[in-house]
């Protein structure tokens, strides 16, 4: 459009540089948009500002050492990354984890999914002027992060999963706390629905912008809520069930038009479905049979166990684990064998054992010392899980050493970001903000 037309003023395209540091760019990314008036005619997306060499660093540490790095991939739902990585290594090792551990992982992944969607929807709403919704959603996220903190001891960099299990069991009173938090989240979602879903300004900005067809989305490799907004119902949890997801009842919401508004609706509904999953998980989670006295359902104090053993009454306490004084073992959180695979060559022992007895210390030593550690056989695996943004896959190659030979993560928002020019071209410059917000770009996993 740069040529002068007779009788009209000459127009020229303008280059608008957005980012790398811009309040609407969640993270660091640079978008160079070519504008004709207000219309976007071309877009160049530049990524890599947050590249920290995740894949290279993973090759230098042992298998458990990668877990903290995976936290930093998606820093809004780190538990799903933890889980994806650990399950990929478990597949490589061909070990299985106990039921209870599966349920804990599912419950925590779903909590993370809600926090991720809350952040995404809240932030995009804020960018469209709905600041109240943002504050409400962050409030709800806070309830959920308190749950995460209760279980893992951290809010963001949780490093909670272990190869072959999870770090610790759910704390006492988790179920009640969790139901309470879900109740609060439901209230917030209802409020947000009331504020946004039929809000004229919000609908006008979201509806019909950032549209992508189903064929294009699949061609770009887009998965997750972004794909489902176009009408395709692909969800790793349903289509390639992992962990215990096949035992749960939940629906996969799909949109029809593939625009920003549909993505908003899909995310809102997915949060509801995640809450359903958590409630089912809390209902069905197998209790820890080893941690309690089968008759009373209470933990067995160590002294009582010794007394029972002395009189030869070991039938009731066989396989049970004594409760020791919390001041002795450094942590009040109970550690149970039913949250970790019964495979001492893989699972890091509970700290109570590491500091409490020689077997635990040796087990710890054999796993963390230089030159020891987990040694899977030579091989390669790919394991996908449903991240909050779509399929999160880990491809791991082992050469039989104690360090992974190659760790590749398939980041879900990489595919979406590569489709960003497609989404933006033809729209107005102002639509750039809601469209980019609905991508839910996570710099950590995009740039690794």
Strand residue runs (E) in 122-198: 161-162, 165-166
Q: Which two tokens stand for residue 153?
A: 């001891």
With CA atoms as reference, report the closest residue to 211 among 16, 422, 40.
422
Q: Is 162 in the site for another protein (CB under 8 A)?
A: no
Site string for another protein, 9-48 (x = CB under 8 A): --------------------------------------xx
Candidate segments 127-135, 179-187, 218-226, 259-267, binder of another protein by CB under 8 A: 218-226
Instruction: Among 374, 388, 413, 442, indicate the residue that binds another protein (CB under 8 A).
Output: 374
Q: Is 226 in the site for another protein (CB under 8 A)?
A: no
Nearer of residues 186 and 345 to another protein, judged by Cβ: 345
Q: What is the CA radius of gyration of the chain?
A: 25
Nearer of residues 17 and 60 to another protein, judged by Cβ: 60
Annotate 95-138 with DSSP letters as a single string. Answer: ----HHHHHHHHHHHHHHHHHHHHHHHHHHHHHTT-HHHHHHHH
Q: Which two tokens stand for residue 101?
A: 């551990």
Q: Is 405 in the site for another protein (CB under 8 A)?
A: yes
State the DSSP code for 289: T
Q: Is 197 in the site for another protein (CB under 8 A)?
A: no
Nearer of residues 30 and 186 to another protein, judged by Cβ: 30
Smallest separation (angstroms) from another protein to the CB of 221: 3
- Residue 78 has a CB neighbour count (10 Å cut-off) of 29
Instruction: Among 11, 17, 21, 51, indicate the residue that binds another protein (CB under 8 A).
Output: 51
Longest dimension (CA), the chain: 107
Query: Strand, helix or coil at 21?
Result: coil
Distance (Å, whole) CA 217 – CA 229: 10
Q: Is 346 in the site for another protein (CB under 8 A)?
A: yes
Q: Which two tokens stand for residue 93?
A: 């090792």
Instruction: Among 17, 157, 219, 357, indicate the residue that binds another protein (CB under 8 A).
Output: 219
CB 399 within 8 Å of CB 378: yes
Interface residues with another protein (CB under 8 A) are 47-48, 51, 53, 55-57, 59-60, 91-96, 216, 218-223, 232, 234, 239-240, 343, 345-346, 366, 369-382, 384, 391, 393, 395, 397, 399-403, 405-406, 408, 410, 414-415, 417-419, 422, 447-448
């Amino acid at each position: 459009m740069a040529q002068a037309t007779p009788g009209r003023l000459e127009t020229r395209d303008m280059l608008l540089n957005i980012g790398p540091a811009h309040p609407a760019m969640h993270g660091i990314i640079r978008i160079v948009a070519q504008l004709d008036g207000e219309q976007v005619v071309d877009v160049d997306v530049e990524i890599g500002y947050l590249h920290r060499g995740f894949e290279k660093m993973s090759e230098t540490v042992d298998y458990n050492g990668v877990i903290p790095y995976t936290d930093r991939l998606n820093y809004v739902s780190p538990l799903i990354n933890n889980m994806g990585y650990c399950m990929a290594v478990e597949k490589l090792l061909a070990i299985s984890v106990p039921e209870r551990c599966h349920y804990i992982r599912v419950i925590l992944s779903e909590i993370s999914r809600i926090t991720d969607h809350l952040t995404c929807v809240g932030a995009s709403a804020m960018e469209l002027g709905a600041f109240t919704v943002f504050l409400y959603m962050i409030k709800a996220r806070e309830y959920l992060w308190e749950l995460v903190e209760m279980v893992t001891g951290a809010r963001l960099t949780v490093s909670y999963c272990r190869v072959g299990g999870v770090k610790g069991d759910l704390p006492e009173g988790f179920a009640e706390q969790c139901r309470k938090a879900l109740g609060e989240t439901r209230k917030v979602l209802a409020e947000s629905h009331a504020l946004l879903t039929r809000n004229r300004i919000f609908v006008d900005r979201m509806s019909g912008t950032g549209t992508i067809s189903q064929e294009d989305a699949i061609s770009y490799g887009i998965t997750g809520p972004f794909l489902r907004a176009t009408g395709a119902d692909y969800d790793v949890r349903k289509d390639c069930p992992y962990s215990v997801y096949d035992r749960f009842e939940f629906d996969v919401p799909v949109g029809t038009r593939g625009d920003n508004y549909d993505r908003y609706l899909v995310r809102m509904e997915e949060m509801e479905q995640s809450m359903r999953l958590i409630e089912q998980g809390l209902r069905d989670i197998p209790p820890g049979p080893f941690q309690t006295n089968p008759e009373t359902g209470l933990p067995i104090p160590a002294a009582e166990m010794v007394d029972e053993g002395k009189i030869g009454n070991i039938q009731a306490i066989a396989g049970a684990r004594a409760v020791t004084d919390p001041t002795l073992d450094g942590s009040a959180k109970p550690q149970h064998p039913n949250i970790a695979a019964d495979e001492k060559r893989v699972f890091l022992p509970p700290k109570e054992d590491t500091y409490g007895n020689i077997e635990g210390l040796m087990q710890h030593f054999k796993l963390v010392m230089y030159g020891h550690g987990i040694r899977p056989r030579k091989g390669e695996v790919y394991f996908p899980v449903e991240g909050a943004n779509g399929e999160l896959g880990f491809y791991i190659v082992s050469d039989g050493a104690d360090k992974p030979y190659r760790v590749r993560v398939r980041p879900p928002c990489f595919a979406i970001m590569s489709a960003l020019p497609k989404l933006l071209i033809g729209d107005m410059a102002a639509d750039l903000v809601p469209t980019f917000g609905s991508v839910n770009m996570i710099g950590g996993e995009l740039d690794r």
